[in-house]
Amino acid sequence: MDPRREVPGPEPDEQAKAGTPRRRWVRRSLIAAGVVGCLVAAGGTWVGARGLSARDHLQAAAALVPQLRAQLTAGDPGAARTLAALQAQTRAARADTSGRSWRVAARLPAVGDEIAAVRTMAAALDDLARDGLPALVETAATVGPAALTPKDGRIDLAPLQRAAPRLAAADAAVRRARERVDGIALDGLREPVRSAVGDLRAQLADAAAVTATADRSATLLPSLLGAEGRRTYLVLFQNPAELRATGGMPGAFVVLRADRGRIGIIDQGAASDWLVFDRPVLPLRPADRSLWTDKLGVFPADVNVTPHFPTAASLAREMYRRRSGRTVDGVFATDPVALSYLLRVIGPVPVPGGPALTGANTVPTLLSRMYARDVSVERQDAFFAAAARATFDAMTSRSFDAPRLLAALARAAGERRLLVWSARHAENRQLAGTVLTGVLPAADGARPTVGLFLNDGSGAKLGYYLRQSVAVSTGGCRSDGRRRLTVRLTLRSVAPRAGLPPYVLGLGLAGDPYTARTVVAVYSPAGGHIERMSLDGARTMFGSGLDRGRGVGQVVVDVPAGGSRTLEVTVLTGELPRVPVRPRLWVTPAVAAWQESIESADVCPSDR
């Protein structure tokens, strides 16, 4: 598995193309080298021929990136030679910007700050090539994708355990480079240097998140897979045809046992078998009671109306314990869309009681066609459970393209269709900061994060027909350092106006059984709040609350079959640092991919 932190910029398809975190980190680090090279060229009048030489060396280094990336992917031993050539280029660029003339120029009143900033960026990139990339190349030589895929139901954990120190060294190198670049004062810098510093900061922040994830994975995966003792995990399959904030209503489940890398299924069934509890199975926070009522602790189908996955996971764990007598060591969640990504790599999987599943038919089969057959709920649950077991058996027994499988897992994680919670607090602390946790960041920095979370209010399976698009724009500067964001969410229904079976139409709580009622929860950036909402251009009332330092606004949106509704929300951020603002979105994973448009903003002037 190749977990990815929440890198909330690329679209899902771009994530799939980008590949593993190791390759993305290599590419981003050296794209930044090209940025610095352009700056050196722009400053050639300051330092003459050495500036042009530095530009040439950095451009040559950037040109080596695709070759190194391909070699790392293929496990080609030639990656070591390519790395050596790349290091020679960044070393030469650093030397070109480290001489006496550059030191003197860095003290000049007119251009000194810009020259000093370029010197710092070039040195940071050279440090990455020298101290970070070698560890990744060494790891690629011993822990390729094939080494992390099961063979006869077992993953060999020894290579990953040996790689852990190297990945820790790579992560430390990225953090050191990030600290140096973050230490560049933006005040007084002119364009294009100021923008380049901001860009490199963002790239290094992304790289730091990726290498931190790789480091954590090498440390955590052996333990999670039973290297120190047997582990059991509850795996929930979320059904996005009936939306919940983390993805969909918990439907089928399996319980996995991991013992020294060997993985097997020891129980399975449907979450609906747990029935309803008289009172919350665990104490609920006052904020959770206020926003979601007691239902998330009483109804198994509602544990994840909150977008905070650790809350949902701990409640599901306790519900399973009370009904089965078994206490699991953690909870995972995934959905049929993630399953379809895996089946595109694994190939068709025969499933007793229904058609063989493929990457193309998994979503419509599990979320629409089974309902259209109007079979009993029990038969539906049985087929879902059989599909989960058949896919698991295929993953642990077949030969397949390991890099493609890891890319599929990375895509699912990037879309938050793969969530992980451990009952061990130390392991959750190590997972913190990755998209696997399903936790909004405690602080946003220059990336004000808006959450858009959807919960079905129809008591139906009409989420299969919903389509979502969202645009975020950033307002001007304010004297208090905050900014207004305008979030425009459009929900569209492609449901037919007749012919759906009763199980899909469900309770019809919107009145018209073909109208999809959706409860939209909008989370402000950290330290911010929701100012106002308009639905189809008319000001509308909304419920409000506070959740872990973020303002929350909730409103009901009814979308008729074939229709659409547009919700516009004005959100105020917390105080932002004086760097370019790049908003990001966290959204509920739905059947259809979200269409997103996000507008960034320049840094505010110092005299705001």
Q: Kindly report which listed range (21-25, 91-95, 258-262, 344-348) carries the lowest average pLDDT score.
A: 21-25
- Closest to 525 in 3D by CA, of 564, 466, 467, 481: 481
Residue 361 has pLDDT above 70, yes or no: yes
Cis status, amide bond into 192, omega within 30 of 0: yes
| 0.85 exceeded by pTM | no
Which pLDDT value is given to residue 101?
67
Average pLDDT over residues 536-550: 97
Q: How far apart are CA 364 and CA 357, in angstroms?
A: 10
119 against 601, higher pLDDT: 601
- The neighbour count for residue 34, using CB atoms within 10 Å, is 17
CB 455 within 8 A of CB 305: yes
CB 462 within 8 A of CB 495: yes
Q: Kindly report which listed range (172-176, 213-217, 364-368, 543-547) carries the lowest average pLDDT score.
A: 213-217
CB 167 within 8 A of CB 121: no
Q: Checking phi first, is residue 416 left (phi over 0); if not, alpha (psi -120 to 50) or beta?
A: left
**Three-state DSSP class for residue 361:** coil
313 against 157, higher pLDDT: 313
Q: Kindly report which listed range (106-110, 272-276, 547-551, 595-599) carries the lowest average pLDDT score.
A: 106-110
Both tokens of 535, joined, read: 């639905």
List, for residues 420-440, the tens digit of each pLDDT value: 999 999 999 888 888 899 999
Per cent of the chain over pLDDT 90 is 49
Which pLDDT value is given to residue 114?
73
CB 593 within 8 A of CB 335: no
List, for residues 519-530, the tens digit of each pLDDT value: 999 999 999 999
* DSSP secondary structure, 443-484, as one string: --TTS-EEEEEEEE-SSSSGGGGEEEEEEEEEEEE-TTS-EE
Domain spans, the chain: 12-224, 231-428, 443-598
Strands 330-334 and 231-239: parallel
Which pLDDT value is given to residue 585?
96
Residue 72 has pLDDT above 50, yes or no: yes
Q: Kindly report which listed range (176-185, 198-207, 224-233, 255-264) carries the lowest average pLDDT score.
A: 198-207
Average pLDDT over residues 213-239: 89
Pick the most confident of 32-46, 91-105, 198-212, 330-344: 330-344
CATH code reported for the domain at 443-598: 2.60.40
The owner of tokens 């080298």 is 33
Q: How far apart are CA 466 and CA 561, in angstroms?
A: 9
